[in-house]
Amino acid sequence: MHAHLFALPLLTLLLVVLGWALGELIGERTLPTLMLAYAPPLLWVLLCLPALAWAAWRRLGWGMALAALLLAAWSAGLLHWRPQQAGTLRVVTFNVLGGARTTPAGLGSALRALNADVILLQEARFHTPTFETELQAALPGYRAVRAEEVLTLTRLPLLGTDTRPLPGLNRAALVTHLRWAGRPLTVMNAHPGATQVSAALRDPARLRRSRDLRAAQLDVLITLARRTPGPLILGGDLNTPPRGPAYRALRQAVGPDTFQRAGRGPGWTYPGLRLRIDHQFSRDLRPSRARVLLWRLSDHRPLLVEYRP
In this structure, the number of other CB atoms found within 10 A of the CB of residue 2 comes to 8
Domain 89-308 = CATH 3.60.10.10: yes
pLDDT, tens digit, 9 for 90 and up, residues 156-171: 999 999 999 999 888 9
Residue 29 region by backbone torsions, left for phi larger than 0, else alpha for psi between -120 and 50, else beta: alpha
In this structure, the number of other CB atoms found within 10 A of the CB of residue 306 comes to 23
Position 106 pLDDT exceeds 70: yes
Q: How many residues does this entry show for the chain?
A: 309
DSSP sequence for 29-82? GSHHHHHHHHS-THHHHHHHHHHHHHHHHHT--HHHHHHHHHHHHHHTTTT-B-
* Residues 38/197, Cβ–Cβ less than 8 Å: yes
* Residues 133/126, Cβ–Cβ less than 8 Å: no
- Distance CA(216)–CA(244), nearest Å, equals 16
Position 4 pLDDT exceeds 60: no
Query: What are the domain boundaries of the chain?
Result: 2-75, 89-308
Single pTM value for the model:
0.95
pLDDT, tens digit, 9 for 90 and up, residues 94-104: 999 999 999 99
In this structure, the number of other CB atoms found within 10 A of the CB of residue 179 comes to 12
pLDDT, tens digit, 9 for 90 and up, residues 33-87: 888 888 899 999 999 999 888 888 878 788 889 999 999 999 999 999 999 999 9
In the structure, what pLDDT confidence band is assigned to residue 1 with cuts at 50, 70 and 90? very low
* Residues 154/176, Cβ–Cβ less than 8 Å: yes
In terms of Cβ atoms closer than 10 Å to its own Cβ (0-12, 13-18, 19+), residue 84 is middle
CA 274 vs CA 3, 43, 50, 242: distances in Å: 36, 10, 21, 12
pLDDT, tens digit, 9 for 90 and up, residues 19-31: 999 999 999 888 8
State the amino acid at position 239 in one-letter form.
N
How confident is the model over 208-219, as a mean pLDDT?
93
Query: Alpha carbon 153 to chain centroid distance?
Result: 20
- Which strand (E) or helix (H) includes residue 261? helix 258-262
